[in-house]
Amino acid sequence: MLPFVIFVALTFFQGKFGEESRYWIYLLKTVIGAWLIWLVWPLVREMRWKISWEAVLVGVAVFAIWVGLDNFYPKFFKPAPAWNPQTQFTETPMLACFLIVVRIVGSSLVVAPLEELFYRSFLYRYISQPDFNSVSLNYFNWRAFVAVSLFFGFAHREWIAGILCGLAYQWLVIHKNRLGDAMTAHAITNLLLGVWVVWKGAWKFW
């Protein structure tokens, strides 16, 4: 739990120290998140990347859902100002490009494993049974399946896409009896979304 909690706590401070802090604190939390993953990697056996055709399919499908549904349902809260380094660092375009790369890499290789470990490995199994280590990853529990997907969805402004995303990733964990495929699917979704944001100028997704 601790890496995820620290990462989310750092997110709270983005923008609290001026507009530029939104970008520098994102860089900081990405570095700290990567360090925390490195620390817990030997301790959490299920936290291992796995690639499968199902993971690729789910990752691409969730990206399509995230973008495709965006204009068709109301959002719960107002969007924050667009996270766009190009408008903040107009005089230093190389720095803006660096921060964009950090965002894409961070969301794909840091956010994905941290969130999957917390939501799909810990929280799902804890709701199923407080002694969560005794619950296998392929154990199916309706209450946990729905609750975690709702919790994951409502943590995002794009809540309907988030709920469907949570259902898809959790299904992948149960279907494959391992966490790595969901980590890969999540990374693919975030990578494609990052490329879409930059390509289309769809900064609202960040």
How do residues 58-79 score in pLDDT, each as one tens digit?
Answer: 999 999 999 999 999 998 777 7
The confidence score (pLDDT) of residue 44 equals 95
pLDDT < 50 positions in the chain? none
- Both tokens of 129, joined, read 């049974």
Residue linked to tokens 């392929």: 138
3 part of a folded domain: no
**198: its two tokens:** 């930059």
Residues facing residue 16 across a β-bridge: 18
The residue type found at 120 is R
What mean pLDDT, rounded, does the chain reach? 95
Residues 6+ apart with CB under 8 A from 96: 85, 86, 88, 89, 90
Residue 15 lies in a domain: no
Residue 80 DSSP symbol: P
Quote the tokens at residue 51.
């690639």
* Residue 77 pLDDT: 77
pLDDT at 82: 83
Report the pLDDT value the prediction gives residue 76, as an integer from 0 to 100: 77
State pTM to two decimals: 0.95
**Domain containing residue 194:** 47-205
Is residue 29 assigned to a domain?
A: no
Overall number of domains in the chain? 1
Residue 186 lies in a domain: yes
Quick one: pLDDT at residue 174?
98
Give a yes or no: residue 31 inside a domain.
Answer: no
* Within-domain flag for 180: yes
**Is residue 35, in this structure, part of any structural domain at all?**
no
Distance CA 6, CA 25 (A): 13
Q: What does the block give as tokens for 196? A: 């879409």
- 192 assigned to some structural domain: yes
> Looking at residue 15, what is its pLDDT?
86
The rounded Cα 119 to chain-centroid distance in angstroms is: 10
